[in-house]
Each structure stands twice: as C-alpha cells, then as structure tokens.
C-alpha cells in the first residue's frame, strides 16, 4: 500500500427535505504525486451467487494483486498493490469513494459479517488522482504507468487478511493478465464473466475519454457500455443468472418525467419536449469507447415547489413517488438481433431514487419496482449548496449494462 491519500475531500452529503446537498469539504495534507502516474479504479462485476446454474462458479469475492510477489513455493504472497476483500460493486458508484473507512458493520450493509470493499481503491490509503478536465477523480488511485501483471484470486468471505490465508486459497487465481497503462491517462478495470457456460472470467479495461472531452458545465452527460458476457445456453430458464439480458443491438432513449403531473399513476407524466428522446444505438459488447451525450438540466426553480421547499425523491418505505423530476431510460432490441416472439425486448431503468439511499436498498427493491419489470437507480438531479446558495450540479454519468443489471457511475464536475 502507498503511504497516504493524496487528496481526500470529505464531503458531507445531507438529506434536506428530500434533496441532496453538498454542504462542506475539508482538504487534508497532501503527498507529492507519483511521477509518471496513471490512474486506476477497479470494480468486481461478477455478481452471481451459487445456485443450480452457477454451482461450478467461484464465489465472486476477490483479492486483487498488481505486480505480484510469490513465495518460495510459487504462491502469491503480496504485491505492489493488494486490493483485498473486493466484493461485487454497488448499483450506484458516486464520484468519491462510498466506502472509505468502511470495513465492517457500517449502515451501508448491516447484513455482512466480513470485511468488504465495493471497489478499489475504496478504503485503501493510497495516492489518489488529481482533478483533471474539471472533474473530481478522487475515486481513482495513482499507479505507476507501464506494464503490470494483474491477478484476481478468489477468497473466503471472512475477516482474515490475504497474507494470512492458506497457500491453497492464495493460489486460487481465476484471472492472470497483463495491462499497459499510459502516464496521465485514467482507466477503469472490471472483472467480467465472459462465458457463463464455460465459467470463463477475464477483465475489461477501459481508457476513459472523459478527461479529453469538452463538456458544457450547465449540462449532464451520459454514455452506455454493454459489458455482458456470452449469453448462457440456459438463458431461457428463469433460474439462470442471465435469464434476463441485454441484446447485442439496442436503441437507447430517455423520457424526462414530472411525478406530480397528472397522467400515468406509476410514472407521472413526461415533461413537454422530453418524450422518447433517442440517444444512441448500442451494437457491441465490451466496447473500448462510446460517445458522451448531453442530457437537459432544468432551471433551478423546477426543483422547488410553490412554497420554496426542495422537492423530494422517491421513498421506498412509503411507496411515495416523490416530487423530484427524473429520467427513465429505455433499451429496445433493434436490427437483426430482435429476439423471437415471446421474449422480453425492452428494458427500462427509472432513475428516481435518492442518491444517498440507493445503495442501501435490497436487490428486490432495486429490481422489482412496483411489482417487477422496472429497474431503479439514483436520480441524476443533484442540487448542491455553494457559498450559501443552491445550484443544480451537473455531472458525467456512465451506465454499464451487465446481463440483467445496470450499474451507474457518476463523475462530478469540480465546484
């Protein structure tokens, strides 16, 4: 592990009448940047648990080692970087680490009985990336540029550090690969299940283009990647982890909803001018890059009611729709890959959940909104307090489609 975090901005996110407000930041002492550094963030994207169709798979709980060191018996014992207790990623990944200092028994997941990191660097004390292109990259770790050997090792869900595990466990390598990182570039690396039937694992490494883009600071931006592996021969079986999945070619569109407008009891009604807006066509898996597409940001007045009270997000406990505007993204099979009759051809993602609360929801709550068929993630509207004044806070969003799930990553613009 490196010595200290370079830049930690401990930003207190408070829920104020249902809104997300950024109220304070504190800058700590800094260490010198690593010379010729690249920047890396890592997710474990293998969310499947053991069941009838996955009994030959490993439990998706890993130790990641970069530039490994081996014992005299040839067993991994450590390395330049050791990212331990790497569990499956959360559905919403904010720009700053969500589980910094979150090893055990936190409110994020009170059911766990073991240490867990939902990403790397997570709670690791390492040098983090500086702001680049006006974006907060403090969730990315500094790493020396050049070639690196990377291991992912399956490990038990317990509180025992990797170095104290048995030789047999430390030798349970499921991914062994090499990556080449360029100085000054930003990378996101993710473990993926490439083939369910063959239980074949690998990594997906994306060199992020957002540090080279020109973004309008008054707009949100979004892009999409299909990171699903090969569909299983059991995909038609409802107990298969890929019984619901994204097709090879999909049109992506959005509708912007006002939950208070009269109309459909489930969604409210579309905001005029923002109905079924086409964004892009996804036509490949594991793509190296994708365009960033602008999303509208409504005037600040749209986020307050007539009494000047900040509008509220959807409340799962009371099933109250809330009052905050929100996006619904639709993924529709298209082209020559339209499935046969009787199979699901569309997938909807409703982004109306309080960003502070979304990762505390159960899988059932996230994937079975209003009886099923509509999946949920964080509301993209963030209202912040800056110099005593409220403002709409646009960000860059990356949506990653993995079999029947959509993960949302937020990259904040620096205030």
Question: What are 40-71's pLDDT values in tens digits?
Answer: 999 999 876 545 455 556 678 999 999 999 99
pLDDT band at 4 (very low <50, low <70, confident <90, very high): very low
Edge-to-edge strand order for the sheet containing 186-195?
141-144, 37-44, 186-195, 200-207
Q: What is the per-residue pLDDT across 272-311, written as a single tens digit (0 to 9) for each?
A: 999 999 999 998 899 999 999 999 999 999 999 888 889 9
Residue 11 is predicted with a pLDDT of 38
What value does the mean pLDDT of the chain take?
A: 81
pLDDT at 381: 92
Which pLDDT score, from 0 to 100, does residue 120 have?
95
Average confidence (pLDDT) over 348-353: 90
pLDDT of residue 1: 34
* Mean of pLDDT values over 94-115: 62
Give pLDDT, residue 405.
83
Q: Is the pLDDT of residue 372 over 60?
A: no
Instruction: Give the tens place of pLDDT for each residue, 89-101.
Output: 988 999 877 654 4
φ, ψ at 210 (rounded to 5°): -65, -20
Give the β-pairing of 293-295 and 220-226.
antiparallel
Long-range (24+ apart) CB contacts under 8 A made by 161-167 are: 161/84, 162/63, 162/65, 162/78, 162/82, 162/84, 163/77, 163/78, 167/71, 167/73, 167/75
């Amino acid at each position: 592990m490196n010595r200290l975090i370079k830049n930690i901005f401990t930003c207190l996110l408070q829920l104020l009448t249902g809104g997300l407000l950024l109220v304070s930041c504190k800058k700590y002492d800094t260490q010198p940047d690593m010379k010729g550094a690249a920047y890396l963030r890592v997710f474990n994207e293998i969310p499947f648990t053991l069941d009838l169709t996955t009994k030959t798979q490993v439990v998706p709980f890993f130790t990641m080692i970069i530039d490994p060191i081996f014992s005299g018996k040839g067993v991994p014992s450590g390395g330049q970087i050791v990212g331990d207790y790497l569990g499956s990623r959360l559905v919403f990944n904010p720009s700053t680490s969500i589980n910094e200092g979150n090893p055990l028994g936190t409110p994020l997941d009170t059911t766990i009985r073991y240490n867990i990191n939902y990403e790397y660097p997570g709670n690791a004390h390492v040098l983090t990336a500086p702001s680049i292109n006006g974006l907060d990259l403090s969730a990315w770790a500094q790493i020396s540029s050049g070639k690196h050997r990377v291991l992912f090792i399956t490990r038990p869900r317990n509180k025992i550090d990797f170095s104290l595990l048995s030789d047999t466990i430390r030798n349970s390598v499921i991914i062994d690969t090499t990556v080449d990182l360029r100085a000054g570039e930003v990378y996101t690396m993710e473990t993926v299940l490439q083939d369910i039937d063959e239980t074949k694992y690998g990594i997906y490494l994306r060199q992020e283009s957002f540090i080279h883009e020109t973004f309008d600071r008054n707009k949100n931006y979004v892009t999409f990647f299909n990171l699903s592996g090969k569909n299983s021969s059991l995909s038609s079986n409802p107990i298969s982890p890929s019984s619901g999945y994204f097709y090879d070619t999909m049109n992506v569109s959005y509708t912007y909803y006002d939950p208070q407008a009269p109309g459909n009891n489930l969604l409210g009604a579309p905001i005029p001018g923002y109905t079924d807006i086409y964004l892009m066509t996804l036509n490949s898996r594991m793509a190296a890059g994708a365009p960033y597409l602008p999303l509208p940001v409504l005037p600040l007045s749209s986020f307050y009611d007539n009494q000047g009270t900040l509008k509220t997000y959807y409340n799962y406990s009371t099933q109250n729709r809330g009052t905050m505007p929100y996006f619904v993204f639709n993924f529709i099979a298209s082209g020559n890959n339209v499935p046969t009759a009787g199979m699901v051809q569309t997938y909807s993602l409703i982004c109306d959940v309080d960003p502070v609360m979304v990762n505390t929801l159960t899988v059932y709550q996230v994937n079975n909104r209003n009886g099923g068929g509509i999946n949920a993630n964080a509301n993209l509207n963030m209202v912040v307090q800056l110099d005593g004044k409220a403002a709409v806070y646009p960000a860059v969003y990356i949506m990653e489609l993995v079999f029947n799930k959509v993960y949302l990553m937020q990259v904040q613009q620096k205030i």
